Amino acid sequence: MAGCAGEFSRVYKSNDPDFRYEYAKQCYAEGRYMQAVNLLQELVTALKGGDNAQESLFMLGMSQYMSRDYESASQTFKKYGTSYPKGIYAEKAYFYVGESLYESAPEPRLDQTPTIGAINAYQQFLDLYPESELRTEAQNKLYELQDKLIMKEYLSAKLYYNLGGYFGNINSNEESNYTSCIITAQNALKRYPFTDMREDFSLLIMKSKFQLAENSSDEKRLERYRDAEDECYGFLNEFPESKSKGTAERYIAKCKKITKD
């Protein structure tokens, strides 16, 4: 290890860019990605305009990616796409912008800015290279990332619903939470009409509308029970085999009793 470190130090201090570049390629081939990064970060500028300019920039991005420095890798691959839009590594560079951001995408509860960036990157790749051999992989990961955004919306809507009943008695904050749940879930269904979580969103809307009716003031009571009843019928029509069928039927019975009285 000491010998390798000493060798790298001698190469790093060399004034011969071609020699340093060949050693960087050797580091990359042997999986010594951090050493490759350290050399290539300076070499990409020295080699710019030369025969190895494209390869050095792409290899830097791949070295960063393999080192799990995904943020730097995405920026390097973007730089390659901007600098060499028709370059020999352009297709893979555009693909790896998405891959880098995909690896950075957090769990659904957290901010999804990297997820959105990855979706946009994969979509750009698919638009530019519709016949690519990497097309299927890009599409599958794009759908996976969209599912993550959908789950983010669902968790937000569910949180509003849970907060709605937290205080036990209706107040302006509670009513606002149920309303926010409805709006969040409805907007998610508009954005993702074919999601597999359609029933989950619809159930939250139905339950929130019923809770609004249950806790309404006298002037809003009948209108909200009618709205909740309509929502229950809509839920049963769309999901006749739902495990929540009994809940919808109980809500309907209560709504009918109130509106008839």
Mean per-residue pLDDT pooled into runs of 10, the chain (261 residues): 58 74 93 94 90 95 98 97 96 98 92 94 97 97 96 96 69 76 97 96 97 88 95 98 97 92 66
Q: What was the pLDDT predicted at 173? A: 57
Long-range interactions of 170-176: CB distance < 8 A, separation 24+: 170/215, 170/216, 174/215, 175/212, 175/215
Q: What was the pLDDT predicted at 73? A: 98
Is residue 232 exposed (0-12), middle (13-18) or buried (19+ Cβ within 10 Å)?
buried
Q: What was the pLDDT predicted at 166? A: 65
Q: What was the pLDDT predicted at 219? A: 86
Q: What was the pLDDT predicted at 16? A: 78
